[in-house]
């Protein structure tokens, strides 16, 4: 039987990767809170070094507020905002950026140390370096997203760029998780049927696509429309689904179509999750059964959270809980993928 064996590295590297994974999860949640409080456009400049410090004087705060007053979001949505209100959204976005800087430092400094002390196997070094490069690139993507709402006619960031930013965050999370699991133990190929590998891969990809669609829901404010379930405006399919032309544009810019697609894909993910769970119940090894059990539980709770968030018109606690639930489902889907491929 062919086997896949991973060299067991320093436990310090394993712990470091777990910390990085935890920080990535945290910043995704913080980013969700930043979006849900409409704080993302409060800082209208990208200053990678000098921007690490917030305003301290009254004059500095007023200067930042005056810059915010020039963009369309302030004019269209917050014309009555005072300085105290601005300070709240500014500190939300500032905190998000500082947390991103923290992740970069917490990754880079130990990485250099571990490479120097030869604690990372040579054939894995490029994977570790690639993760750092993606973290740096994510910082640029974050500003690219914010810039779509600065000096333009948009009152929010572009949903296309928001989806790119969130999608890359989950790619980084997947890479860190996979590397952490590789690092933690020695793995071999399990005696499982090939279909389980394909099925868990399909399920993980569907979960990832659903997360991207969820980013379009957040970016287009589609969660604030059609706040009924299971029907939308009294019908299974909203009347304005094909309101835009060309037809493909509805998938990305029509709130009715975006929310409908998110609902339908949630049903599809649930059906596929049940199918995978049922198919492994008696024939697969225990680690895969355990992973799919937890994945099934997470999917059910996520569906419930999504319905509650919809009925509550995307109130912050429910909407943020729904986003956090997506992280849990995604990680459990990765866990199931690994359980279908490796054993220890």
The pLDDT profile of the chain, 344 residues, written as one tens digit per residue, is 444 444 445 789 999 999 999 999 999 999 999 999 999 999 999 887 767 889 999 999 999 999 999 999 999 999 999 999 999 999 999 999 999 999 999 999 999 999 999 998 888 899 999 999 999 999 999 999 999 999 899 889 999 999 999 999 999 999 999 999 988 876 666 555 578 899 999 999 999 999 999 999 999 999 999 999 999 988 999 988 999 999 999 999 999 999 999 999 999 999 999 999 999 987 778 889 999 999 999 999 999 999 999 999 999 999 999 999 999 999 999 999 999 988 65
Place of tokens 């020695």: 186
Asked whether residue 168 falls in the same domain as residue 308, the answer is no
Q: Are residues 222 and 175 in the same domain?
A: no
Give the domain-ending residue among 164, 189, 214: 189
Can you tell me whether residue 235 is helix, strand or coil? strand
Whether residues 246 and 178 fall in one domain: no
Distance CA 137, CA 66 (A): 29
Give the contacts of 21 (CB within 8 A, at least 6 positions apart).
Answer: 173, 176, 177, 180
- As a whole number of angstroms, the distance between CA 31 and CA 165 comes to 10
Q: Is residue 85 domain-shared with residue 230, that is, in the same domain?
A: no
- Please indicate, yes or no, whether the overall pTM of this predicted structure exceeds 0.85: yes
- Are residues 161 and 219 located together in one domain of the fold? no
CB 71 within 8 A of CB 148: no
Question: Does 154 lie in the same domain as 177?
Answer: yes
* Residue pair 138/165 in contact by the 8 Å Cβ criterion: yes
Residues 4 and 101 in one domain: yes
Asked whether residue 343 falls in the same domain as residue 243, the answer is yes
Domain termination site, one of 158, 189, 220 = 189
In the chain, the number of structural domains is 2
Question: 196 and 164, same structural domain?
Answer: no
Specify the pLDDT at position 233.
85
pLDDT at 281: 87
Sign of CA dihedral 14, 20, 24, 25: positive
Range of the domain at 171: 1-189
pLDDT reported for residue 48: 79
CATH number of the domain to which 286 belongs: 1.20.1420
Q: Residues with Cβ < 8 Å from 221, sequence gap 6 or more?
A: 156, 255
Instruction: Say what the pLDDT of residue 83 is.
Output: 96
3-class secondary structure, 343: strand
């Amino acid at each position: 039987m062919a086997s896949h064996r991973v060299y067991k590295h320093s436990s310090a590297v394993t712990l470091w990767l777990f910390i990085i994974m935890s920080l990535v999860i945290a910043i995704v949640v913080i980013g969700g809170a930043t979006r849900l409080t409409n704080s993302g456009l409060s800082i209208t400049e990208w200053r990678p070094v000098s921007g690490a410090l917030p305003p301290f004087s009254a004059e500095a705060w007023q200067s930042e507020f005056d810059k915010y007053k020039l963009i369309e979001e302030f004019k269209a949505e917050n014309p009555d905002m005072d300085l105290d209100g601005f300070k709240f959204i500014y500190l939300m976005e500032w905190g998000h950026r500082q947390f991103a800087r923290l992740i970069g430092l917490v990754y880079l400094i130990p990485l250099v140390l571990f490479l120097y002390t030869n604690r990372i196997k040579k054939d894995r070094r490029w994977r570790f370096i690639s993760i750092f490069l993606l973290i740096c690139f994510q910082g640029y993507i974050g500003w690219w997203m914010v810039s779509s709402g600065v000096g333009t006619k948009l009152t929010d960031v572009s949903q296309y760029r928001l989806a790119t930013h969130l999608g890359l965050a989950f790619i980084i999370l997947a890479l860190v998780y996979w590397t952490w699991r590789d690092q933690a133990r020695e793995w071999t190929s399990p005696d499982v049927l090939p279909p389980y590998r394909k099925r868990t891969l399909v399920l993980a990809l569907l979960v990832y696509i659903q997360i991207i669609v969820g980013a379009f829901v957040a970016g287009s404010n589609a969660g604030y429309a059609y706040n009924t379930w299971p029907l939308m405006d009294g019908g299974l399919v909203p009347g304005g689904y094909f309101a835009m032309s060309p037809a493909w544009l509805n998938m990305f810019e029509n709130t009715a179509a975006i929310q409908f697609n998110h609902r339908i894909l949630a049903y599809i993910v649930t059906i596929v999750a049940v199918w995978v769970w049922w198919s492994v119940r008696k024939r697969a090894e225990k680690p895969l059964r355990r992973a799919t059990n937890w994945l099934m539980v997470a999917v059910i709770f996520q569906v419930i959270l999504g319905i509650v968030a919809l009925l509550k018109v995307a109130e912050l606690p429910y909407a943020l809980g729904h986003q956090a639930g997506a992280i849990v489902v995604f990680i459990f889907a990765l866990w199931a993928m690994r359980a279908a491929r490796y054993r220890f």
